[in-house]
Amino acid sequence: MVKSSLVRQALVLAALAFVPGLVQAIYFGDKVSWRSPVPASEMVTVTQARAWGENAIWVDARPDNEFARDHVPGALPLNEDRWNELLAQFLAAWSPEKKVVIYCGSEGCNASREVARRLRKEAQLPNVFVLEGGWEEWLKTNR
Amino acid sequence: MAQSSTISYQLLANRQFVWRIVDFIVGGIFIYAGTIKVIDPVQFAIDIDNYKILPWTISVGLAFYLPWLEILCGLALILRRLYFGGLSILTALVAVFLVATIAAKVRGLDITCGCFGHASKSLSFAGHLALDFALLAALIVLWSKAPVRNHAANEL
């Protein structure tokens, strides 16, 4: 088996895969942001969220022990570990005119994005936002 | 003499038939894995991003590209066209994926998705590792058993 033949075959396959990948990327152009995992329209800063006042319902997507230690005043816990149980509690407090602001530990954590995705997809809720910078940003702004 | 060579040929043909079945199974697994990720590339981009190795933009690019590469390589195994190219790419992909998964675990990241994207969410970390090692082992075995002098496998 000649090495150059193996490399040539691999390159051909790698090149062929570009075609459907590119077509799909174009097709999905408006469904995914290439700059951020969460589209800008679904992100909110601490300042913006606080300006919503009573119209905002804060959701803490961190594990239970972190929520118990400290959280945004009035925030409701909603994490994937106890999704069904906490979702019922959250929905009891939610109303259609409220804006949902979800946060987790920091900018890099994924929990808030995942909770936001599930609320939009499974609970079909509108006005669901992810807090930019998460709990760390809240602490910085409120010290 | 003629009878023993006939028997030897039959044994060889049977063994090659067995390895062809392995080609189909392994190729089929990668076609299935690739198809699941093609259906929801946004979720796959998030899964790649969860490893916290690559910037988001690269994760999105790979989410659109890698599933198709998996499918084509799986087809290469089944159709015996560009066979060794497909085998080398799949082996490299699984090896890289294994290293990334172990590294993520060591870093304390909660990686719940494996080769099959979010479809394998229910598998434990040990389950993911076992599946990935099994795939890698199957690919390595195909390397060792593939007919080197098979012209169809080597042709473009």
* Better-predicted residue by pLDDT, B124 or A66: A66
Q: Tell me the pLDDT tens digit for each residue of B135-152.
A: 999 999 998 886 654 444
Supply the DSSP string of B95-115, one letter for each residue: HHHHHHHHHHHHTT-----BT
Q: How far apart are the CA of A29 and the nearest CA of chain B, in angstroms?
A: 11
Looking at the 3D structure of chain A, how many domains does it have?
Answer: 2
Residue ranges of domains in chain B: 2-147
Determine the pLDDT at residue B155: 45
Q: In which domain, by residue range, is A129 found? A: 40-141
Q: Looking at the partner chain, which of B49, B64, B84 has a beta carbon nearest the beta carbon of A25?
A: B64
Q: Are residues A48 and A88 in the same domain?
A: yes
Mean pLDDT of chain A: 89
Q: What does the radius of gyration of chain B's CA atoms come to, in whole angstroms?
A: 18
- A23 with A70, same domain: the answer is no
A54 and A27 inside one domain: no
Q: What is the pLDDT of residues A82-104, one digit of tens each?
A: 999 999 999 999 999 999 999 99
Cβ burial of A97 (10 Å; 0-12, 13-18, 19+) is exposed
SS3 (DSSP) at A2: coil
Cα Rg of chain A, angstroms: 21
Using the predicted structure, report yes or no on whether residue B154 has a pLDDT greater than 70. Answer: no
Closest partner CB to B154 (pick from A1, A20, A36)? A1
Per-residue confidence (pLDDT) for residue B69, from 0 to 100: 97
The mean pLDDT of A1-19, rounded to a whole number, is: 89
My answer on whether A114 and A67 are in the same domain is: yes
Q: Do both A22 and A90 map to the same domain?
A: no
Give yes or no for A9 touching B (CB within 8 A). Answer: yes
Residues A22 and A92 in one domain: no
Nearest CA in chain B to A23: B64
Q: Which of B88, B127, B106 is nearest to B114 (CA)?
A: B127
pTM of the model: 0.69
pLDDT at B110 over 70: no
CATH of the domain at A53: 3.40.250.10
Q: Report the distance separating Cα B41 and Cα A28, nearest Å.
A: 9
What integer pLDDT is reported at residue B87 of this predicted model?
95
